[in-house]
Amino acid sequence: MLTPIQAVSNDTFLPERLNLAIGKRCFVSCQGCYTHFGQHEPDLKRLLESVSLFVDLGVSDITISGGDPLTINNLLGFLDDLRQLKVRSIKLDTVGTHLIQNPLREEIPPGLEGRPSLNSLMKRLDFMGIPLDGWSNATVSLFRAGRPQLYEETKELLDAIDGTAGFPMVIINTVAHAMNLSGLSRIGQEILRHPAVCHWNIFQFSPTDQVSAEINAGYRITDPMFHMAEKAWRNSLASHSATAKGITTEFRSVRSRLGQYLLINSDGVAWVPDERGQTISLGAVFQNEHQILSDWSKTVFRLRALRNPPARIET
């Protein structure tokens, strides 16, 4: 599933996943949001053409994110069309807000027409990524503002998926930051309750140029803090229970994530963040896929070289 970056030659890489960050709006408002939002609604037809070319170039695992992809018009039709291409897996990252208001029925309540139900969505996905950053409404809202009941809503959503998923297909995504790091085991306890969960990603908070320096400083945790938290989790009983239940756990530091994804926003602009969270734009992707992939590869190579400078040879 979550394979390392594939090397296709000594100095050329392919991204682990093509991340279509094409939802241009979101149901929540995270203070530390790193997304480089597009200005326009996504052109789904052109995106499909683009994905087809990327698949031919060897990138066949697709993530759909945003913003929140539930805000995309005709999302289900887009997913059906994606399936017609030779994609290997489709993952959709969502807060799931509207799914829990209509978890089990195909009928959509007034005002939410055009948005998919949980059942209709799950049928079309290999994985669904859901954020969980705390163990109460108050701790969740330390990062994800704008939905004061988000923790309860997320639990409700997970309960609904537990009852309908034929196999574990939920990936929980946690942003570990200065205010929730000590409570990771409490988040883990909630995850253990849900048979639908197959994997837990814990992402070290990454600073970003999309927000202020003060906000970055408030969430920042150092590498040693992050590694200590991983050690504490790995040694805990809850971690062993997770392993016994088949839930894999991955602590993903800022450095380890460098250049793992090729991100494309709703305007069709490709970008990649560097280690300090600076957004590096690679330009428009449509009809330029081969060049974008080549530029992405060179950029990643450079970022990784900066991260691990070659050892100096003493003379």
Q: Which residue ranges make up the site for ligand SF4 (CB under 6 A)?
A: 26, 28-30, 33, 35, 66-67, 95, 144
CB of 12 to ligand SF4, least distance (A): 30
CB of 116 to ligand SF4, least distance (A): 18
Cβ-based nearer residue to ligand SF4, 35 or 174: 35
What would the DSSP string read from start to end of the chain?
--PPPEEEETTEEE-SEEEEE-----SSEETT------SS---HHHHHHHHHHHHHTT--EEEEESS-GGGSTTHHHHHHHHHHTT-SEEEEE---HHHHHSSS-SS--TT-TTSPPHHHHHTT-SEEEEE---SSHHHHTTTEES-TTHHHHHHHHHHHHHHH-SS--EEEEEEE-TTTGGGHHHHHHHHHT-TTEEEEEEEEP---TTS-HHHHHHH---HHHHHHHHHHHHTSHHHHHHHHTT-EEEEE-TTTTTT-EEEEETTSEEEEE-TT--EEEEEE-TT-HHHHHHHHHHHHHHHHHHHSPPPPPP-
Cβ-based nearer residue to ligand SF4, 96 or 293: 96
Cβ-based nearer residue to ligand SF4, 208 or 297: 208
CB-based contacts of 123, cutoff 8 Å, min separation 6: none
CB of 24 to ligand SF4, least distance (A): 10
CB of 28 to ligand SF4, least distance (A): 5
Cβ-based nearer residue to ligand SF4, 178 or 238: 178
CB of 173 to ligand SF4, least distance (A): 9
Cβ-based nearer residue to ligand SF4, 14 or 30: 30
CB of 114 to ligand SF4, least distance (A): 20
CB of 52 to ligand SF4, least distance (A): 26
Cβ-based nearer residue to ligand SF4, 12 or 31: 31
Cβ-based nearer residue to ligand SF4, 35 or 50: 35
